[in-house]
Amino acid sequence: MGNADHIKRNNWLQRLTGLWRGMLLTLSYTIRRGKRKNAGPKSDQYFEQVQGTVTLQYPHEKLPVPENGRYQLHVEIDDCIVCDLCAKICPVDCIDIISIKSVEDMGKTSDGTTKRLHAAKFDIDMGKCMFCGLCTIVCPTECIIMTDEYDRSFSDPKELIYPFSFMTEAEAEEKRAALAKSEAEKKAAKEAALKAAQEAKKKAEDQ
Amino acid sequence: MVFYLVSIFIVAFIALYALMAVWAERKVSAYMQNRLGPMETGKFGLFQTFADIIKLIQKEDIVPTAADKALFFIAPVLVFLSVFMGFAALPVTYGYISSDISLGVFYLLAVVSIEVVGILMAGWSSNNKYALLGSVRSVAQIISYEIPAVIAVLSVVMLCGSLNLQDITMQQGIYAADPIYFLGIWKVNAVGGFPAWHIFQAPHLLIAFFIYFTASLAECNRAPFDIPEAESEIVAGFHIEYSGFKFAALFLAEYAMMFLVSMIAVVLFLGGWNTPLPNIGSLALADWTSGVAWGVFWIIGKSMVMVLIQMWVRWTFPRFRMDQLMSFCWKVLIPVSFGCMLISAIWKLAVI
């Protein structure tokens, strides 16, 4: 800050004291060290970390994040009605859902919506996700949420695809078979009813 | 027998010291910059440099195709040897010096200069423009800075009247045979401790000490005189093409050189293996803390402090420009050191 103007060219005493002041400055930094305060963005001192160590030994210590942080997605699959709205609104198509209609009573979600579909597959590819949060907005039962977890690393990119429905292929096949059977039964019953109706009509006409 | 034991001890000690010094340097620099430095390998990262050296030894020994193979191989050996040969003439403790030669100071200055040849060899044989630039800068710098260093050393030697480093050390404590004076007025033969050190025996030797210290920084190629290795300009200077074990040897030599010049400064100016604690009346601190084992402790301890100061200086000051470096040496250090030598001569005739 204009220091160079004040120092006269041949003032060696001033130069020496300048050097000494520099040495004292680094020494004071060496001595005046506190542990880094894990303040986090909520703290008033968040922007005042000029003193003390700035290093955050990351995997061992983390800055606190808000509980309602908007990081990785989580699906509470018991509350999901498999409406596929999240997959439809996702700008990067990272949600992959396969649904199977249910034949028996599936119960209700925690907010009272009736569940009518099985989720044979509910995968979210975190590698693709851009954390826009649109899926959480459209979800009618609020079963898809963003969590405060932000750090998960994997050696295989396939592991970034998080499964939320753990239905096996056999179970899915069973459900499909049950659906096909019930549909066939319904169709047969419908045809039988139609036939009976037609016969009744014919009889009436005959009479 | 003792000779071999001490020799092995010195080599082992220097190797261990160099590893710990690299760690210490990383820690010191980190603390000065509000960082933590190595923390993962062992407690406080203590084993970081051990892991590093194991990695370096395992590495493939790459020799550039265009390199001068023979010189490329000899250079690190020469640098390493020249530094380690210096330790032979340094007094280790009371009554022990590996090579008790009467030309100790002269030998040391000569042997340390051989390093320049090794550095030039390394830079030339690498066949790399940065390496050559670095080694040329290094040679220019080391040869220039040897002059004030030698003159500063001479002003001590003139007062001592001896080139033997053990004799020089003996004159700075309670074992001195001749009368010694604090600032030329107060006889301190019985007191010992820091008032008997050379820098306090005559006031101009304090200036000579600073000149020697500054010049020794330049001889070690350390900041603020690190233009031969200036990372931001010429990557790594003369050792840019070296890898694996040869690089480890050069690196070890660099840190051993720091210790060597610190030890020379300690022996010549800061009392060598003499205790810094003076006798105060019936509190005979100097008598209690003198002896063979204490001697080893004091000389190593003082040298370590000097090495720490070198690190402190390195991480405080920015790098000199080439012209600043040369004008500082030739226009400031050399005239002042000649002045010191002149005062030494007068002091010898007039005061003691």
Span B307-324, mean pLDDT?
Answer: 87
Residue A9: what pLDDT? 58
Is A207 at the interface with chain B, CB within 8 A? no
- Mean pLDDT of chain B, nearest integer: 85
Minimal CA separation from B226 to chain A, in Å? 17
Q: Mutating which of A29, A30, A61 best tests the B interface, going by the most B Cβ atoms within 10 A? A: A30
Q: Mutating which of B316, B327, B328, B332 best tests the A interface, going by the most A Cβ atoms within 10 A? A: B316
The yes-or-no verdict on residue A158 having pLDDT over 70 is: yes
pLDDT band at residue A3 using 50, 70 and 90 as cut-offs? low
Q: With an 8 Å Cβ cutoff, are A29 and B32 in contact?
A: yes
Residue A77: what pLDDT? 85
Residue B185: what pLDDT? 76
Q: Which residue has the higher pLDDT, B46 or A62?
A: B46
Is B33 at the interface with chain A, CB within 8 A? yes
pLDDT band at residue B339 using 50, 70 and 90 as cut-offs? very high
The yes-or-no verdict on residue B147 having pLDDT over 50 is: yes
Using omega within 30 degrees of 0 as the cis cutoff, is the peptide bond preceding B64 cis? Answer: no
The yes-or-no verdict on residue B48 having pLDDT over 70 is: yes
Q: With an 8 Å Cβ cutoff, are A30 and B32 in contact?
A: yes
Residue A98: what pLDDT? 87
Least confident of B171-175, B229-233, B345-349: B229-233
- Tell me which chain A residues have a C-beta less than 8 angstroms from the C-beta of B31: 29-30, 33
Percentage above 70 pLDDT, chain A:
88
Minimal CA separation from A10 to chain B, in Å? 12
- Tell me which chain A residues have a C-beta less than 8 angstroms from the C-beta of B312: 23, 26-27
Compute the count of residue pairs across chains A and B with CB atoms less than 8 Å apart: 33
- Tell me which chain A residues have a C-beta less than 8 angstroms from the C-beta of B34: 29, 33, 52-55
Span A92-105, mean pLDDT?
Answer: 85
- Tell me which chain A residues have a C-beta less than 8 angstroms from the C-beta of B30: 55
Q: With an 8 Å Cβ cutoff, are B32 and A23 in contact?
A: no
Q: Which of A23, A54, A57 sits opposite B34 (nearest CB)?
A: A54
The yes-or-no verdict on residue A5 having pLDDT over 80 is: no
| CATH match for A73-170 among 3.40.50.300, 3.30.70.3270, 3.30.1330.30, 1.10.10.60 | 3.30.70.3270
pLDDT band at residue A1 using 50, 70 and 90 as cut-offs? very low
Q: Which residue has the higher pLDDT, A124 or B180?
A: A124
Q: Identify the closest residue of chain A to B29 by CA–CA distance.
A: A30
Q: Which of A22, A23, A29 sits opposite B34 (nearest CB)?
A: A29
Q: What is the ipTM of this complex?
A: 0.73
Q: With an 8 Å Cβ cutoff, are B35 and A55 in contact?
A: yes
Least confident of A87-96, A134-143, A174-183, B281-290: B281-290
Span B167-191, mean pLDDT?
Answer: 78
Residue A92: what pLDDT? 92
pLDDT in tens, A174-203: 888 888 888 888 888 888 888 888 888 888
pLDDT band at residue A51 using 50, 70 and 90 as cut-offs? low
Residue A2: what pLDDT? 46
Minimal CA separation from A20 to chain B, in Å? 10
Percentage above 90 pLDDT, chain B:
6
Q: Identify the closest residue of chain B to A34 by CA–CA distance.
A: B34
Percentage above 90 pLDDT, chain A:
2
The yes-or-no verdict on residue B189 having pLDDT over 60 is: yes
Q: Where are the domains of chain B?
A: 63-350
pLDDT band at residue B305 using 50, 70 and 90 as cut-offs? very high
Q: Identify the closest residue of chain A to B27 by CA–CA distance.
A: A30
Residue A58: what pLDDT? 82
pLDDT in tens, B70-111: 888 888 888 888 888 888 888 887 777 777 788 888 888 888
pLDDT band at residue A16 using 50, 70 and 90 as cut-offs? confident
Q: Identify the closest residue of chain B to A16 by CA–CA distance.
A: B210
The yes-or-no verdict on residue A8 having pLDDT over 60 is: no
Q: Which residue has the higher pLDDT, A20 or B181?
A: A20
Q: With an 8 Å Cβ cutoff, are A53 and B317 in contact?
A: no
- Tell me which chain A residues have a C-beta less than 8 angstroms from the C-beta of B35: 53-55
Residue A49: what pLDDT? 60
